[in-house]
Amino acid sequence: MNAEELVKGIEHLVSLPDVCIKINMMADSPLYSAKDIGEVISQDTDLSARLLSLVNSAFYGMRAPVETISRAVTVIGTKGLRNLVLVTSAAEVFTGIPADLVDMTEFWRYSVTTGIIAKALSTQCNVLHGERLFVMGVLHDIGRLVIYLRLPEQSRDVLLITGGDDAILADTEADVFGFTHMDVGAALLKTWKLPESLITVAGTHHEPLNAGDYRLEASLVNIAGLLSQGEMSGEPLDEILDQVRPEVWQATGLDSDKVASVMEEVPARVAEVLDVVLAPNVPTEQRR
């Protein structure tokens, strides 16, 4: 079995909600206006409330409240809103994964933290449409969930071998499965018909120099993932930054001072965004 076959065998279990699929299609088509997309979203009251909550959070830093979906579309654009719909929908898809393999709250906390850091780092690199980096960060490790759901016994072997060391995760997965979570993540996002940039970053975030035209984005997600792990474990920032490879620093043009300035605002932003992402699945008292 390869990564594509693994995903194909589970498509019916991890398909995006219909409204998400429709908005994804509309955002890439010149036939639909911002008003059209706003009307589709507005028909889903829960999704509308969650999107408005996110747009009005410190994550976006709006000077005036955004009170309607149509205004949200105007402020952050159709593709920006599409990206937020993807993020708020992704956490709904995965259920039934054995708890001994992954704590889902911690998984999404790590993923959201990675996305927030990646977006913040993108501003230091003058990347346009930084919300793309947020989505790339949130979805970069989603292949892990497919593997846990589809191959739980072999996943236990991988977790035992790696002992939580992500530096050897991809090599161990390749030995045990014949493919990695990066391969699976890219295959899943391809079946979801997401943009090539998201697919490539999911498929190369451990080897960002292999990302071609998206080398910068993959490198930012690579750094953000390390910083997210350190943020959650309490590891000192200088020790985390020592793990970033020189070629990745070079690809981004970042340095330790620029990264340190970004990390100060991360915890508060994570708390707000995580509430929105986990809203359908996890009681509030379990998210903190």
Q: Domain spanning 3-286 has what CATH number?
A: 1.10.3210.10
Cα separation, 190 vs 124, whole angstroms: 29
Q: Answer with the residue of higher pLDDT: 153 or 262.
A: 153
User: What's the whole-number mean pLDDT along residues 226-231?
Assistant: 92
What's the whole-number mean pLDDT along residues 117-122? 92
What pLDDT sits at residue 7?
Answer: 92
Is residue 28 very low, low, confident or very high in pLDDT (cuts 50, 70, 90)? confident
What is the pLDDT at residue 279? 65
- 280 pLDDT above the threshold of 60: no
**Burial class of 64 by CB neighbour count within 10 A (0 to 12, 13 to 18, 19+):** exposed
Return d(Cα 132, Cα 142) in angstroms, integer: 16
Contacts with 234 (C-beta within 8 Å, 6 or more apart), sequence order? none
For the chain, domain boundaries: 3-286
Mean pLDDT of 163-187: 93
- Per residue in 241-259, pLDDT (tens digit) is 999 999 999 999 998 888 9
pLDDT-based confidence at 198, cuts 50/70/90? very high
Q: What is the pLDDT of residue 155?
A: 95
In the predicted model, what is the mean pLDDT of residues 214-233? 94
Q: Count other Cβ atoms within 10 Å, centred on residue 197.
A: 17
Q: Distances from the Cα of 268 to the Cαs of 116, 132, 144, in angstroms?
A: 11, 20, 26
Return the H-helix or E-strand segment holding 155: helix 152-162
Question: What's this model's pTM, rounded to 2 decimal places?
Answer: 0.88
Pick the more confident residue, 34 or 162.
Answer: 162
- With a cut of 90, say whether residue 273 has pLDDT above it: no
pLDDT at 284 exceeding the cut of 80: no
